[in-house]
Amino acid sequence: MVESSTRQVDRLKFGPYRLWPDERRLWRGADEVKLVGRAFDLLVALVKNAGAVMGHRDLMALAWPNVFVDESNLRVHVAALRSLFAQHDNEESYITTVPRRGYSFVARVEPDESPSVDKSRSPAEKMPSFADTFPARLHRMVGRTVEMSAILDMLRSGRLVSIVGAGGIGKTVLAIAVAHRLMGEFDRAIAFVDLSTATCAEHVELSIAEALRLAPTSDDVLGEILASIRHMRALIVLDNCEHLIASASSAVERLMEGAPELRILATSRETLRADGEAVYRLSGLAHPPCKQEMTAASAMEWPAVRLFLDRVAASGYQREITDIEVSTIASICRRLEGVPLAIELAAGRVASHGVEGTGQLFDHRFGLMWRGRRNAARRHQTMNAVLDWSYDLLRERDQLILTRLSIFVGPFTVTAAEDVAGEDGIRRDDVADALVSLAEKSLIREDMVKGGLHYRLFGLTRAYAFARLERSGNYDSVARRHAAYVAKWITALQGPTGSREAVAEEDIVGLIANLRLALSWSFSRSPDREGAPDLVAKAVPLLLRRSLLRECGLWCERALAVLDGLGGSAETELTLWEGLGASNMFMRGNSQQIQHLIERGLTIARQLKASEQELRLLSAMHIFKARIGDVHGIHEISCRASKLAASTSRDDLSAMTKWMKATAYHLSGNQARAQSCCESALKCSLSVPVSRFNAFGYDQRIRGLIVLVRTLWLRGFWDQASRLSHEVIREAVDRQQPVAVCIANIYTATTAIWSHDLDTAARRVDGVIACAEENSLEPYLAVGVGMRGQIAALRGNLDLGIEELTAAMSVLQTERHEVLNTQFSCSLAEAMAAGGEHDEALRVLNEALKRAKRNGELYLLPEMRRARGDIVSRAGEPYQQIAEHHLRHAMIEARRQDAKGWELRAAVSLGRFLLAQGRAHEAAVVVGEAVAGFDEGAGEPIMGAARCLISGARQWDTSGSPAQLSNPIGRPRSCLT
């Protein structure tokens, strides 16, 4: 009979199961599974809502409609479903508990389009009896569907498969689950051999015989085993082979040779290296990556989290897991690297410590001693016992090397291992051999990083070995060699062949983690404190490049204190002053103390005739002067730097000084010279690695490019400015330097505000605020808040705009961060005027205008005069002539600076003023002449406003009556900033 398409669609399948809701039938392969009543209804509801969390009430309403029942009834039926799946199929759990919320069906569900079911099956009577004692699964397996499928395929295509992995990784549980899946294929001729209690070679053979229900009567135990199973299609699971690896390998090879239908599935912490062996290396459960936002529901996608929550629920914990707690759980799973046993042990602490409390326990080493299930094997009672088992199986040489390697945080190379572990009786060749051996025994991991082989200790293994190192009495000697290697590593990284582009990100992160450990040790040991300042000095460029400003400042302060007491090289002192000045400037503003730090460094650099460092410090002073708004000062510094760079004949230093000069020209209002300097600097920089332009924690290339963006905009090359804005932000993000990301977003957002592209500006300002908050960059955070206020005012939210601009300006004035305060003052004045505070608006604007002239910040004069004209025009008829004078003077000043962008903004304001006076023809001419100067920027909002104004003015001039002008900028005509 052909079934209807509707019924066919209603049929579902998951794993080996087929669920036919309409016929109320459940199949596993060819076998029908008996399931009736409420349990069947619950299963249908869960399967049809796979991936979602079904609440207790919803499930009870579906299974017991119009009937009041206690929630315990639901738990009983869900338990029955789980028991049924465990009985028929020992693979991954299908139903997961979400504490205090309900249940979720986590297997993949698809439509079942099978037309019929084959009900044939092998009779159980043919199944050998030794399968009756095969162990049941210890608990429901989570997250191993892919692994199980791969191992099943390997066993079906080969005869010997080894599951190899670290202790507690879940090898035994997976092997048992695989064997249960194969029961039917082997007619239950499956035996489980636990070698954990075997202590010698003879015990291996006897354990196999015992599992096969044999009682050997001769010395040839394997011979008797082969006589029994020679022609049998059977599977032997050989568990826990590592401590008798040679004997197990020998026995396996003889059995495989003598029993052609035999399959063997072995578990071990290292490979058997037997003939015909196929190895499946088992790693931890998948866990959420770092910094991924997630909810309690989305976290269930990760097997490690599912296992954790499953064991939390099993421990009796009744509270609902919150989204905040899920982040802690994800962190725990990451720190445990997805090791199932470790996750279970950690989950068992939640009932007594809570989720957050359990996370805090990881700051100690209590986790190694947490106890697990009472009936677990002794070697699995604690992670310490698991690792003791592995450690005791090592040769003494390898034990010593393992403990020494625990000094490394994260990945390390063979050379690093040889430098640190290859001393005090251990040859370098021994270290290389030990790495191979330890990797084979699943105590360290091998990774290929950009074509190079790296090693790393598993997290729990490192904690265990590090504790042994601290107790060994050799910690200081190992730490001393580790610190020396870190210094060598940094030097190589920052040399000509160690450019930033050639180094893997993981290497940088690993280096910084090892640097922290080395510095902490160096400063804590009196005999080794003399070397600490040199190590800090070597690290300063790296710390600044990574924008680790707080750390850089703290280490430099400590190092300078040591130098003050012990003396030291002037070169080291110079670098430390440089690092201290940079970190403080970006984090704490622009105080006189910062200027003193830079001047101290410049004095030392001149004494040492260290031209490159003097140029970097001049660059720092240039940044400092620009930030406090001293444009006269940056001109003088640019000239000094240019002369010094000319004496070096280095393209990178020449480009850096040209960008410094471009900044000075831009801020003083000479946009043509600024553009020329920027373009010349770019030509010089073409053959130079971008890493060379990171000076004093500031990416000079990014700084130069944002000056070019603003200069292009002011000169009317708006399309070029827009393209370059996107490029410079992308380049800053690729550098992974928070300071560069902040300045790129800040100064490209300014041009978006000038164009009135407020959506783009808002996105960039959000990027500034997020980056500044994450990296404690307080001055940039204040700038971001101020720019957010600008945007709010332009969108008509005057109260919010005034509030945020005022707050930001207060912070920036305190920190002497004046470079954007003048522009903020202009925006604040216009917002105040739009809100009716004309006198206060003029006071704010006039003070800003005086400050700009005093500091040489002349590029803003056209814009400030335009704003003054707009504000004065609101004062009524007696002031209209003065307002027009200011607006026309703004256009004249803009033309003098070759700033077509300012000219168009002033022209639009003047055009609207003239329209309000009834002078439509003049308005059309003024704005038309300004628009005619542009070949780019047709899509910019302000250009649209200008063309709209021209069209309206011409219509008015022709018809003699005012046109109904649209307001594409979306705000009062006098608030054009």
CATH value at residue 535? 1.25.40
Pairing of strands 17-20, 110-111: unpaired
Interatomic CA distance for residues 382 and 346, integer angstroms: 11
- Assigned domain for 802 exists: no
Strands (E), 628-718: 694-695, 698-699
Higher pLDDT: 79 or 261? It is 261
Q: Does position 963 have pLDDT exceeding 60, yes or no?
A: no
According to the model, what pLDDT value does residue 186 have?
84
Pairing of strands 277-281, 160-164: parallel
Q: What is the pLDDT of residues 93-112, one digit of tens each?
A: 788 888 878 899 988 898 88
Q: Are residues 477 and 572 in the same domain?
A: yes
Q: Are residues 508 and 614 in the same domain?
A: yes
Give yes or no for a contact between 767 and 577, defined as CB atoms under 8 angstroms apart.
no
Identify which of 657, 701, 662, 696 has the alpha carbon closest to the alpha carbon of residue 682: 701
Q: Does position 710 have pLDDT exceeding 70, yes or no?
A: yes
Q: Are residues 401 and 333 in the same domain?
A: no
CA contacts within 13 A on the Cβ side of 692: 18
Q: Are residues 400 and 376 in the same domain?
A: no
Count of the separate structural domains present in the chain: 7
List beta partners, residue 268.
164
Mean pLDDT of the 325-333 span: 85
Mean pLDDT of the 347-366 span: 69
- Assigned domain for 613 exists: yes
Per-residue confidence band for 138, with pLDDT thresholds at 50, 70 and 90 = low
Interatomic CA distance for residues 735 and 730, integer angstroms: 9
Q: Are residues 622 and 634 in the same domain?
A: no
- Assigned domain for 306 exists: yes
Residues ≥6 apart with Cβ < 8 Å to 483 = 518, 519, 521, 522, 528, 531, 535
Mean pLDDT of the 949-958 span: 83
285-299, 549-563, 671-685: range with lowest mean pLDDT: 285-299
Q: Are residues 424 and 444 in the same domain?
A: yes
How far, in Å, are 189, 281, 379, 798, 849 from residue 460 at the CA level? 38, 18, 15, 56, 63
State residue 405 phi and psi, 5-degree precision.
-70, -20
In one-letter notation, the amino acid at residue 810 is: S
- Assigned domain for 577 exists: yes
According to the model, what pLDDT value does residue 586 have?
72
Name the token pair of 266: 């072995």
Out of 680, 696, 712, pick the residue that ends a domain: 696
Q: Does position 198 have pLDDT exceeding 80, yes or no?
A: no
| Residue 838 burial (CB count, 10 A) | 18
Q: In what order do the strands lie in the sheet with 110-111?
A: 31-33, 25-28, 17-20, 12-14, 110-111
Mean pLDDT of the 781-806 span: 94
Domain encompassing residue 545: 396-627
Interatomic CA distance for residues 787 and 721, integer angstroms: 19
Q: What is the pLDDT of residues 426-455, one digit of tens each?
A: 888 889 889 988 887 778 888 776 657 888
Q: Are residues 75 and 209 in the same domain?
A: no
Interatomic CA distance for residues 174 and 813, integer angstroms: 64
Q: In what order do the strands lie in the sheet with 190-194?
A: 190-194, 234-239, 262-268, 160-164, 277-281
109-123, 393-407, 610-624, 760-774: range with lowest mean pLDDT: 109-123
Got the DSSP string for 376-422? S-GGGSSHHHHHHHHHHTS-HHHHHHHHHHTT--S-B-HHHHHHHHS
Q: Are residues 661 and 748 in the same domain?
A: no
Give yes or no for a contact between 311 and 348, defined as CB atoms under 8 angstroms apart.
yes
Q: Are residues 619 and 524 in the same domain?
A: yes
Per-residue confidence band for 902, with pLDDT thresholds at 50, 70 and 90 = very high
Interatomic CA distance for residues 680 and 749, integer angstroms: 25
According to the model, what pLDDT value does residue 542 have?
87
State residue 330 phi and psi, 5-degree precision.
-60, -40
Q: Tokens 């969390």 appear where?
A: 53
Which H or E run contains 55?
A: strand 53-55
Interatomic CA distance for residues 809 and 535, integer angstroms: 39
According to the model, what pLDDT value does residue 380 have?
44
Per-residue confidence band for 677, with pLDDT thresholds at 50, 70 and 90 = very high
- Report DSSP state, residue 53: E
Per-residue confidence band for 296, with pLDDT thresholds at 50, 70 and 90 = confident
Out of 757, 772, 806, pick the residue that ends a domain: 757
- Assigned domain for 776 exists: no
Per residue, what are the HEC states of 60-129?
HHHHCCCCCCCHHHHHHHHHHHHHHHHHHCCCECCEEEECCCEEEECCCCEECCCCCCCCCCCCHHHCCH
Q: Does position 367 have pLDDT exceeding 50, yes or no?
A: no
Out of 696, 719, 740, pick the residue that ends a domain: 696
Per-residue confidence band for 397, with pLDDT thresholds at 50, 70 and 90 = very high
According to the model, what pLDDT value does residue 87 have?
64
- Assigned domain for 138 exists: yes
- Assigned domain for 603 exists: yes
| Residue 881 burial (CB count, 10 A) | 9
According to the model, what pLDDT value does residue 498 have?
38
- Assigned domain for 852 exists: no
Q: Does position 124 have pLDDT exceeding 50, yes or no?
A: no
SS3 275: coil
Q: Does position 369 have pLDDT exceeding 50, yes or no?
A: no
In one-letter notation, the amino acid at residue 830 is: E
Give yes or no for a contact between 460 and 342, defined as CB atoms under 8 angstroms apart.
yes
Query: Dihedral (C-alpha) 109, 114, 120, 123: value to the nearest 10 degrees?
Result: -10
Interatomic CA distance for residues 960 and 934, integer angstroms: 29
List beta partners, residue 19.
12, 26
Mean pLDDT of the 716-725 span: 95
Q: How far, in whole angstroms, is CA 770 from its chain's centroid? A: 14
Q: Is the pTM of this model over 0.85?
A: no
Mean pLDDT of the 252-256 span: 95
SS3 163: strand
Q: Are residues 485 and 574 in the same domain?
A: yes
Q: Tokens 């005869």 appear where?
A: 159
According to the model, what pLDDT value does residue 100 have?
78
Per-residue buried b or exposed e for 962-977, using 16+ beta carbons within 10 Å of the residue's own CB: ebebeeebebbbbbbb
Q: Are residues 307 and 373 in the same domain?
A: yes
% of the chain exceeding 90 in pLDDT: 35
Higher pLDDT: 460 or 498? It is 460
Q: How far, in whole angstroms, is CA 497 from its chain's centroid? A: 27
Q: Are residues 432 and 578 in the same domain?
A: yes
Per-residue confidence band for 125, with pLDDT thresholds at 50, 70 and 90 = very low
